[in-house]
Structure formats: structure tokens, C-alpha cells
Structure 1
Amino acid sequence: MSKNLRIIYAVGPEDVIKAYNYWSKNQDDPSQVSVTYSSQFYELCRDIDAYGYVIAQSPQQEIVRDQRFIIERRLIPSTDASGISYHFRQIWFGLRLLISAIRFQANIIVVDNGITHWFFLSIFAWIGIKVIPSLQCTLWCKYYPPSLGEKLALRLSRNFFAFDCKAILAVSHDIAAQVDQLTLGQHQEVFEFFPTFYRADFENIPPAKIEQSPFRVLFVGRVEQSKGVFDLLEIAKRFASENRRDIKFDICGEGSLLEPLRLAAKQADVGDFFIFHGYCNKMQMKELFSSSHVVIVPTRKDFVEGFNRVVSESILSGRPVITSAVCPALYYVKDAAIEVAPNDVKAYGDALLDLYSDRQLYEEKRKACVMAQEQFYDTGKSWGNSLKSIIEKIQ
């Protein structure tokens, strides 16, 4: 492949410099369970002998260079903008990205969700830069209609997905379906990919001992309202009122509502079986998956989800997962999951009780986990390999 390829990857708030430092030493980032997309990008550029420029959103400015890469954590002001100011902000970020692409003399640019409005990227195509959108989230909230501003931005983006981009990376079937809906079936080829995991990170996790008490329920994610953490508290309060204190909740993650949730759990007198672990690295997560019986992913309808890797991690750990169709990952693991209606707190609690009390059901779901695992180890379905296939096709 041509040595003249110069590829930009514009990504959200990932610590791409830390990922690069680990990748350059042939090491995995211990803070990440799945393989980071930026490390896959570095690997791809080395494999095809291309020059790469990674631009990530960041609360602080930092840049490193070597013979092949420029890696920039680009200072982005507060992300709290809304309304008209939000849309101006997106255009401004797009302009900055365009200037960087011209200065770098980019042939190809790969752009994640949230960097700029999709329609703005048509300008890159008009000046000869091949654009590949990398869709990590649905284009709009699955269960709520888009706002007026969102509708306008989507309508303006229709031609981008139909004609101006070269191909589309999508992390789930739900996203691919929305692209099809937006463009009325007329769009560039969609390459679906999966988050990628290393077998070695999961192969030593022992099967759950269903007879072991307490029955442990694991939540992993941002501690925010939209992630359903307060729904879990309501379930814990219900179980306490029913004198079920042999079901424990392990809450792993940080977020703006961590302290309010901790206080609410204390006030509800469920603190002894509603346990907070805060941020957990890969080894800590492995221990928590090993001690858990089931994983719960109660993301609410107002959250724009893309895949939710925790669903994959649950399956790879051999733990049944309880979630709703808000999480597109459910599509790939239905036999190993219990699906409930979005936002239905009672249904989530009932599903936990079903797995807790029905040994046969639990064993069926556990066996289904084993059957569903291989797809997440398949490097042929990784983001990096999918991107490589696109580049080979468009060159």
C-alpha cells in the first residue's frame, strides 16, 4: 500500500497518548478491558506504512510526535453548551479539524461521533479528502424523537452518508439501521464491527457458583441518572423491604452522581449490600466479574447508546446479563440475556429474582454465554480490521 497515505483519526475524550505509550512498548493499557480504538489505529498505520495524526478531545492540551505519528490531546472548552451555542461549537470544532487536515495533507480522515456535525464533513470530501465516519453511538435517541435542531442536522447529513463519505463504520446493527432509515436505503457501504477483547483476559474467570451466597449483581459504568443507577437503588430498597438481604449490588464506576447515590443508599439503609467500588482497573474488574453471578445494564431511554461493551464483558465472563433494547449489544447476545422493557424498574428486579431463584434458567443463560463469546474474540470483526478493509477498497 502507498507510503504516501496520511490518515487522521478524530476521536472523543480518549487518552490517546497513554494508549500510544503502552502500544509502543507492546503492552496493553491496564485501565481498559477492551482493545482501544486508538491502539488499533496505530497498529493499522504501521501495518500499511501510513502516517497517522490522532486528534482527541481533552480538558488539557498535549501533543507528542515521532517519525510516523502526531498524537494530540486537543483542548476542548466545556462541553455543557446547548441549543444554538452547541451547534456553533460543533461547526467551530469542524473548522479546526479541517485546518488540521489541510496542514497535515491528509488523504483520509476517520471521524467518531460528537466531533462535529456529520454534514460539515462533506467539505472534506469536496476538497479531495476521503472521509470515513466511525459511528460509536446511534444517530439519534432510539426511543425519543429528535429535537428540531437534531432533525435539521440529520437532514443536512443525509447526503454525507449517501454520497460524500467513502464507507461507514458502525459498531452495531441499530446504528446501521438508522443510517438506512436516514438515507432511505441509499448510502455508502456499512462495515459493522465489534469491540475487541483478548481471550487471556477472560479465560481464567471461573464459572459462577450459583449456590454461593450472597447472590452478587454487578453494575459497571458511569454513575449517572441515564445509566439507571438510581433504578438499581430502587431495586435494592425493594429487596430490603422484602427482607432479601442476600442479594448484593456491586457498583463500579465514577460520575457526577456518585456521592448523591452513595448518600441515598446510606439514607435508605441499604449500604451494607449496595457497595461502591469507584473506578476499577482491568485486574480489579476481573476480580469483580469472577465474584459476580449476574451483570445488569439498566441504561435508560434518554441515553444515546452505541453498543455498551459491558454487555460483551458480561458474556465473556460467563455471566448472564439483564438489560433492555436501549443497549444495541443485546441484539448479539439475546440467548444469554434477560431482556426487559426500558425504564421498567420492577421488571429489572423481577429478572434478578428469576435468575436468583431458578437454577435451571440460570444454567441455560450461563451456557448461552459460552456459545456467544467467540464473536467478541474475532479480530476479523474488529474496528481496525474493518477500517483496513475500507482503506484497501477505496485506494
Structure 2
Amino acid sequence: MLNRTRSRAVTFPPANANPGADGAALPPRLLIVGPLPPPLGGVQLTIDMQLHSSLAREFELHVVDTSKRQLRWAVENPTWKTPLYFARDFLRLVRALVRLRPKVVLVHAAATFSLLRDWVFMATARIAGAKVICHYHGTLHTRFPSGNTRSGRFIGRMLMSAAHRVIVLSPSYRREMAKAWKRDDLVWAPNMADVALYRSVSANTPAPWLASGEKAVLFVGRLSAPKGIYDLFDAIPRVLERHPEAKFVLVGVAESDAMEPVIRAEAGRRGIASRIAFLGALEGSDKAAAFATSQMIVVPSWTEAFPLVIPEAMAAGIPVVATAVGAIPDFVKDEEDGFLIAPRDWKALADCICRLLDDERLRRRIGERVRERAPREFAIEVGCGKVLEVARDVLAKPPASRLSPDCRNRI
């Protein structure tokens, strides 16, 4: 699935593709602005799935790749290099706009101050005459732009006014952000999973990290405090008291090389290292095997938008134990798809893990439910189909080559 190209601009299909024997015109061009993998992360994987979806059949897709490449995980903290990356990506965008003249530009935007950069991308594309779609992967509960303050809502409205249409991640986000940004045209599209991949791997797949009789509890994500890794460490002894056969399988890496040994040393200090398998970053069938051979997945994050690991877990047919943050409650129903807990409540986390390990029938019932939901709600064509509908809609409207008055008046 992952496209490993490192070129500055990526084209799907190739720019020299034949228009066809009947001389039919090439499809309209759609330019995607955002990071390709590596490193792995939710936005990177979403873009990769879009490139291999029905969008590529209806549009000639191009990508301005904003990936930093050297990051160990898909987390971005400002450094002295940030302005240099911005200049690089802005020049790539301008070149692509001049050379390709795309009809539609799809900008993948995140919360925090990187949204200022994404606003520049959207405004530039709009001035160039393209229809602009913002695929927003953030929440209203971030520090910037905050949806909880008047100034934060004003800033959000200003930044999003550069886009003709905005796509968010869940129905509750659509309601909340529509109110905060005073827009009635927001659309929500769920995060997605390669359902066929996760269904193709059997629960009997060999798992070298598991001994006979061990039951895997899976964690997938960045090994960091905000992702709840230390809350999970707190919960492990309580789980082991009741289920010594539990093995905690961690897929992911720390934010930096320096933090990796710190996290492993902390597991050793607590005396739980022997019950943890650190698998590092996995992808494709290896990652799917980690899901298939686990009894459940835990998502103990302090804050989230809507993590891709939840659709992936549902595609694999395993229950979810997650914190009730962000859009997670929109998609995980407590005691139906798994369990919802409060952030940082390690005792509740341990108790929910034990409840699932106690009851094989409960695990099977939840697994059957989420496995049935996955292709209907989280397949690639479900999420990408909504993006395609928005792209068709903006193309059908009269062209506009300048910023909206609302956006222009705030520059």
C-alpha cells in the first residue's frame, strides 16, 4: 500500500499517461498537499490511501510532499529548521500550481501552529484560481486554534475561510466546528483502514513475540506520555495479578532516539519488562499480524482527533479499550465495541482489560460486531468516497480566482 517515492512532486497516474485510444481528455488535476510516508502517521497513511482510491480514477492526482523524512514518528515540534521546511514546501507548492494548474487543491491540515502554514498553502492555491478543500485532522480542544475561546474561534474562522470546503473527521466535529467557524457546509469523512489487508491475516498467524498460552494486549502508536504509555505501565501490574498470561505488545517507537531507552528502562524499573514485547514500528502485513494475534487494543491517549488504529482494530475484529476523547465516542460505543474510559484512569484501564480477558464470549461478540462494521463504515472507499463527493461539488460551482471577502478582509 505505501508508496515509497521520495520525489518532490508525485503523480498518480504518471503525467505522461496516454489519454486513451479515443482521444478523450485527461481527467481534471487534483493536487494534494501533505506528508507522504515515511514516517508513519495518521495523515501520511490517509494520503497514501487516497492515492490508491477512486480519487485516482476520477482525477489526475499530484502530491506536494511536505514530509520531514527524518522524524522517527509522525510528530512535529517547532525547531530552527521549521522556517526552512516551510520555505521548501511553499516553493514546491508554487511550482506545482504554475506547472500543473490544478482544478482542485486538497490541503491536509493539522491543529496547533502548523495550521498557519496550511492557511498560507490554502490562500496561495485559492489566489492561483484553484478550488481549495481543507481536510482537517485536528480538534476544537487544542491550544491553537482553541474552540473554547472567542479569540480561538475567530482565528479558526479566519484560517478556514481560505478553503471553499472543509472536511472534518466525525459528525460531532462537524456540528461543533460548524458552530465555532460559522459554516454550514462542513462535511465529515471517517478515518479509514485497509479492511482487506486486516481481514487477510488469520488469528493463527505465527507470533514470535508470544509464548504458548499468552494472550496479547495490543498498543499501537507513539510511545509517549500523551499517548498514555505510562498509564498503561501503571495498569499492567493490576492486570497481571488476575491474568499472569497477559502479554503487552507495543507497536511503535518513542519520539526520539534518546527517549527509546528511557521508556524501556522505565518498564524494567517497574518490574514489568518481561511481560512487554517492544516490536518497534510495523506496517503492512506485519502490522496486521500484530492486530490479528491480539485479544484487544488499548488506546489510552490523553487527547486524540480520531486515531487510525481504531478502524484498523475493527477491521481485524478485536475489541477496543479507549479513552473517551476527541471523536472516539462517535465511533466506539461503550460495552458494544469495547469500553470507554476517562483519560489517565489507569485503574479503569486495567479493569476493562481484565473484563475482556475474563470473558471469551464477550470478546467474540464484540469482535463479530466491529468486524461487521468495518467494511461498511471504515473501508477506504467509504472515506475517500466522501472526499470525492466534495471534490466533485466544488468543481461543479462557478470558478473563483481570489480569496473570499471574509478571508481577504482579514489578511
Q: CA deviation at 1:348?
A: 0.3
Match of 1:99 among 67, 70, 94: 94
Q: Distance in 2 between matches of 1:221 and 1:200?
A: 19
Q: Distance in 2 between matches of 1:292 and 1:271?
A: 18
Q: Counterparts of 1:4-83 in structure 2 under 5 Å?
A: 5-12=28-35, 14-15=37-38, 36-38=46-48, 40-41=50-51, 46-48=56-58, 50=60, 52-59=62-69, 79-81=76-78
Match of 2:298 among 296, 304, 315: 296
Q: CA deviation at 1:290?
A: 2.8
Q: CA deviation at 1:282?
A: 2.3
RMSD over aligned Cα atoms: 3.8
Is the 1:307–1:328 contact (alpha carbons within 8 Å) kept by the matching residues of 2?
yes
Matched, 1:268 2:270: yes
Q: CA deviation at 1:190?
A: 1.2
Matched, 1:215 2:225: no
Is the 2:201–2:288 contact (alpha carbons within 8 Å) kept by the matching residues of 1?
no
- Residue 126 of structure 2 corresponds to 125
Q: Number of aligned pairs? A: 350
Q: Counterparts of 1:183-194 in structure 2 under 5 Å?
A: 183-184=181-182, 186-194=183-191
Q: CA deviation at 1:192?
A: 1.8
Q: CA deviation at 1:321?
A: 0.9
Is the 2:318–2:363 contact (alpha carbons within 8 Å) kept by the matching residues of 1?
no
- Residue 175 of structure 2 corresponds to 177
Question: For residues 4-31 of structure 1, what are the alpha-carbon distances to aligned partners after superposition, in whole Å with 9 as ceiling and x for unaligned?
Answer: 7333211135349xxxxxxxxxxxx9x9
Q: Distance in 1 between matches of 2:86 and 2:366?
A: 47
Is the 2:314–2:370 contact (alpha carbons within 8 Å) kept by the matching residues of 1?
yes
Matched, 1:255 2:251: no
Q: Distance in 1 between matches of 2:86 and 2:289?
A: 44
Q: Distance in 2 between matches of 1:321 and 1:3?
A: 44
Is the 1:235–1:349 contact (alpha carbons within 8 Å) kept by the matching residues of 2?
yes
- Residue 134 of structure 1 corresponds to 135
Kindly provide the amino acid, as one letter, of the partner of residue 111 in structure 1.
V
Q: CA deviation at 1:390?
A: 2.0
Is the 2:30–2:103 contact (alpha carbons within 8 Å) kept by the matching residues of 1?
yes
Q: Distance in 1 between matches of 2:81 and 2:154?
A: 17
Q: Distance in 2 between matches of 1:312 and 1:49?
A: 26
Q: Distance in 1 between matches of 2:86 and 2:151?
A: 14
- Residue 198 of structure 2 corresponds to 201
Kindly provide the amino acid, as one letter, of the partner of residue 261 in structure 1.
I
Q: CA deviation at 1:221?
A: 1.0
Q: CA deviation at 1:92?
A: 5.5
Q: Distance in 2 between matches of 1:376 and 1:4?
A: 28
- Residue 208 of structure 2 corresponds to none
Kindly provide the amino acid, as one letter, of the partner of residue 323 in structure 2.
S
Match of 2:285 among 279, 283, 286: 283
Question: For residues 126-164 of structure 1, what are the alpha-carbon distances to aligned partners after superposition, in whole Å with 9 as ceiling and x for unaligned?
Answer: 4422110012232443xx78669x975652341454x54
SS at match of 2:274: coil
SS at match of 2:264: helix
Gap change, CA 1:36 and 1:169, over 3 Å in 2:
same
Q: Distance in 1 between matches of 2:341 and 2:155?
A: 35
- Residue 110 of structure 1 corresponds to 106
**What are the ranges of 5 or more consecutive residues in structure 2 without an aligned counterpart?**
1-23, 206-211, 396-411
Gap change, CA 1:246 and 1:45, over 3 Å in 2:
closer
Gap change, CA 1:154 and 1:259, over 3 Å in 2:
farther
Is the 1:323–1:330 contact (alpha carbons within 8 Å) kept by the matching residues of 2?
no
Gap change, CA 1:355 and 1:327, over 3 Å in 2:
farther
Is the 1:174–1:328 contact (alpha carbons within 8 Å) kept by the matching residues of 2?
yes
Task: Normalising by structure 1, report the TM-score.
Answer: 0.74
Q: Distance in 2 between matches of 1:213 and 1:327?
A: 36
**What are the ranges of 5 or more consecutive residues in structure 1 without an aligned counterpart?**
17-28, 61-77
Q: Distance in 2 between matches of 1:351 and 1:199?
A: 29
Q: Distance in 2 between matches of 1:87 and 1:59?
A: 13
Q: Distance in 2 between matches of 1:43 and 1:341?
A: 36
Identity %: 18
